[in-house]
Chain A
């Protein structure tokens, strides 16, 4: 949710390591992060700070999972990848390695996915060497969505005569 960024971030883990010199904090073991509707679970979570503020959060897992509700009334977005990078200042999510993102049945799978959360833009990229198979971008749009477009025309409308065909009478 847009209001997520105004919520406190809660992080739970088994252990923590903090390097004061580099201002990097690493949470290790059963890591859970909650911020409003944003939830991340991972084996490891690395927090990078610049001038004391969070600049980047990196979740690492087999895979790491993330979910967030983009807007009230919309469906939750579920994302996963072996590495999830979250840049809070740009509201940008980068999923790498067995990455996938799904919302309301629509699925995008590939080696690398960039998701601009506030603009709801997804960029997916297969691995450089991929010519076929799993390493390419793979998108699934569920039938329910494709059919809706077909059914959206009103039922009673007579078939539009194509320019070459004479108009059909009602009895036929």
Chain B
């Protein structure tokens, strides 16, 4: 048998082996039992589950910085997300409550970004002579690392005698500066 034909035979044998392995792997993975176990394992059994969650965080100086309450907190490992029901989050300034955010639902991801949804109310308590400011919307993304809040949904802000409706918001919570992005209408009562 010439050298050339022997090479051809070897290549053919190699191809056949690769094909066989591929088929075997596909068959193994696609068997319902194995697939079912994998997906079932991540969805139905969370990493941890807490009812009536109450968590506090302190600064290096030992002064309270934030407090969080939730009727339920469920953490899933596969996406590193925690879903919270009826959350109430409070941030403190020099030990006194400064802002609270409540909603029907929320999620917290691994980057500590909180998405609050459904009947979101953010309240800021008066500093100096200003009056309480309340912001209501249907979804609010709070980045606790950069201390910003954003939404593209309609928002309503009430403060003193003023009420402002707009669509879309960006707020820098450190600088205490907020921008309303479009469709602004304010009414100041006499």
- Size bracket, chain B contacts: 20 to 34
Grouping DSSP codes into helix (H, G, I), strand (E, B) and loop, the B interface class, with mixed when no group exceeds half, is strand
CB-CB under 8 A from A9, the residues of chain B are 186-188, 190
Give chain B interface residues in 140-190, CB to chain A under 8 Å. Answer: 159-161, 164, 166, 175-190
B176 touches A16 (CB 8 A): no
Indicate which residue in B159, B166, B175, B190 contacts A6 across the interface (CB closer than 8 Å).
Answer: B190
In the complex with contacts A52-B161, A53-B161, A17-B178 CB distance below 8 A = yes
Please state if A54 and B190 are interface contacts (CB–CB under 8 Å): no
Q: Is the CB–CB distance between B188 and A54 below 8 Å?
A: yes
Q: Within the complex, which residue of A5, A20, A23, A54 is in contact with B124, where a contact is CB–CB below 8 Å?
A: A20
Binds A, one of B3-11, B39-47, B83-91, B128-136: B128-136
Closest chain A residue, CB of each to CB of B173? A20
> Is A51 interfacial (CB 8 A cutoff)?
yes
A62 CB within 8 Å of chain B: no
Interchain CA distance A49-B190 in the complex, whole Å: 14
Could you mark each residue 59-101 of chain B with 1 if its beta carbon is under 8 Å from any beta carbon of chain A, else 0?
Answer: 0000000000000000000000000000000000000000000
Residues of B within 8 A of A (CB): 124, 127, 129-131, 133, 159-161, 164, 166, 175-190
Question: What residues of chain A have their CB less than 8 Å away from a CB belonging to chain B?
Answer: 5-21, 23, 25, 27, 49-54
